[in-house]
Structure 1
Amino acid sequence: MMKLKLGPIEDDKPVKVTLELSAALHRDLVAYAEILGLETGQAPADPVRLITPMLERFIATDRGFVKARRTILSRVAGE
């Protein structure tokens, strides 16, 4: 079985955000939730609950963002 980038979805208090997704992206989220459920042995998660961990993972692994954030924060701290 393939190893997905996301693991089990944490149960955390959410912040409400409203956004529109393309139908294709929604279909992909539904499929991802089903595959993740099979991989983790859990029931498929609500596809909407995948958005937060996916964004967190994306941001955490974006080297350009991490470097820029560190640079900006060090400038602010130095002022």
Structure 2
Amino acid sequence: MVKLKLGAIVDDKPVKLTIELPAAVHRDLLAYAEALARETGQAITDPSKLVAPMLARFMTTDRAFAKGRRKNQIEGEG
């Protein structure tokens, strides 16, 4: 089995967003929820719970974004 990028989903205080997804993205989100449930044993009853950890993971691993954030933090301190 392929190792998924996401692990168990942490239950955190949410901020409500309303978004529209293309149908294909929604189907993939459902499939990912099923795969994650098989891998972690944690049933994902609401696949929208995957969106925040996926975005967080994406931003954490985006080197250009991280570099830009560091640059902005350093410029803002002086």
Give % identity: 62
Q: Hey, what's the Cα distance between the residues in 2 that align with 1:66 and 1:51?
A: 20
1:63: Cα distance to partner? 0.3
Q: What one-letter code is carried by the residue in structure 2 that aligns with 1:64? A: A
**What are the Cα deviations for residues 7-49 of structure 1, in whole angstroms up to 9, with x where unaligned?**
0111111100011000000000000000000001122341100
- In the other structure, the counterpart of 1:56 is 56
Q: Hey, what's the Cα distance between the residues in 1 that align with 2:76 and 2:50?
A: 33
Where does the alignment leave 5 or more consecutive residues of structure 1 unmatched?
Answer: none
- In the other structure, the counterpart of 1:33 is 33
What SS does the corresponding residue of 2:10 show, helix, strand or coil?
Answer: coil
- Per mean C-alpha deviation after superposition, the further-off stretch among 39-48 and 29-38 is 39-48
Where does the alignment leave 5 or more consecutive residues of structure 2 unmatched?
Answer: none
What SS does the corresponding residue of 1:8 show, helix, strand or coil?
Answer: coil
Q: Is contact 1:34–1:44 with CA below 8 Å preserved after alignment?
A: yes
